[in-house]
Structure 1
Amino acid sequence: MFRNFSICTLLMLSSIAGHAVAQDIVPADDYRLDKAWEALISEEGSFLSQQQMATLNSLAFQAAGVRLCDDHKLDHKTFAEQISAIIAASDKDLVEEQVEQRKASIMIAFGARYGIFLAEGSLHADPFCRAIAEVGKAENGAPVVMK
């Protein structure tokens, strides 16, 4: 499903899914590591819904913002609840081995996104931290895991 998606498509899906609109949570496209995003997305399967993928992106973006931007802390309880909800929303038809594979895929997908956001934020700290400061201000339904 995600094999042919561009980062712009992924960000559009975030908006459609009722989560953070691209301009609200990410730096300008000029600051994106497009090749890294394309490589990540080209290897992903369809193990998450659009809404779950948008939430995973938002969680990774905020977690990176907590590391790179002053005045932000992670709300560990809310973060754990949000990531657990994605992991727990498994297909009922999966056997135990598939459930574990899905869980591992979700954690890898989160870690890869977190790493790319860390790199983008490190390369372009000012616009990245301005975008982080805007998280939660927009009425877009994105979960906020920062304090």
Structure 2
Amino acid sequence: MKATIRYAAAAAGVFLFASTAIAQAPDAARRQEAAWKWLDQAMAPTLTEEQRPKLLWAAYNATASALCHEVTVDENRLGGVLATLLPAEDDGKISPEQRHHLENSLMVHLGAAMGIYAAENADHLTEFCGEAVALRDDKELTNDLFLPKAEEGDTAPK
């Protein structure tokens, strides 16, 4: 799973570079909207309308974990969400080549979404990270991908 996250992070880095340039343009809001529209269209051939929000939720959590030292994504939960977006391993209708293509597409989409989130929030990380902490600490949220808050004296690495 760590290789998957590294692959997505690399894709996000490329997209972040482009998104940062877009966000600095005079009509940033229109360009950000265009980026999300592009991503939705790019995901359409491989992800259903029901699957796309799951990928965006995973990307939000992964981005917050990458940008905010207060939160850490649970790689097992993240991997579980991403796995639900792929056909079952034993699906005889999907060839190994098709599965590889779907996995790569999924990582590109995840990386692109992370890049858009990072570009949108780069200028107000305090608020973005505060929202991520609030989500992490929300006891009623059932689809949280963050690890719980570290207890006082807990020195476990992030």
* TM-score, scaled to structure 1: 0.64
Q: 2:113 maps to what in 1?
A: 113
RMSD: 2.7
State how far apart, in whole Å, the 1-side matches of 2:108 and 2:43 are: 10
Asked whether 1:145 is paired with 2:150, we answer: no
State how far apart, in whole Å, the 2-side matches of 1:145 and 1:75 are: 5
CA displacement at 1:104 relative to structure 2: 1.3
CA displacement at 1:93 relative to structure 2: 2.5
Q: SS in structure 2 opposite 1:50?
A: coil
| Percent identity (aligned) | 24
Alignment of 1:64-143 (within 5 A): 64-89=63-88, 92-136=92-136, 137=138, 139=140, 141-143=142-144
CA displacement at 1:113 relative to structure 2: 0.5
CA displacement at 1:138 relative to structure 2: 7.0
State how far apart, in whole Å, the 1-side matches of 2:84 and 2:73 are: 17
Checking the alignment, whether the CA contact within 8 Å between 2:135 and 2:144 is kept in structure 1 is no
State how far apart, in whole Å, the 1-side matches of 2:51 and 2:92 are: 17
* TM-score, scaled to structure 2: 0.60
Stretches of structure 1 that go unaligned for 5 or more consecutive residues are: 1-29
Checking the alignment, whether the CA contact within 8 Å between 2:135 and 2:141 is kept in structure 1 is no
Aligned pairs, number: 117
State how far apart, in whole Å, the 1-side matches of 2:132 and 2:40 are: 23
Q: 2:32 maps to what in 1?
A: 33
The letter for the 1-side match of 2:133 is A
After superposing on structure 2, the runs of 4+ consecutive aligned residues of structure 1 that deviate more than 3 Å are 88-92, 138-141
Q: SS in structure 2 opposite 1:51?
A: coil
Checking the alignment, whether the CA contact within 8 Å between 1:55 and 1:142 is kept in structure 2 is no
* Distance change in 2, residues 1:89/1:120 (3 Å): farther
CA displacement at 1:108 relative to structure 2: 0.8
1:69-120 Cα distance to aligned partner (Å, 9 max, x none): 2311122222222223323447652333222211111111111111111112
Q: SS in structure 1 opposite 2:50?
A: helix
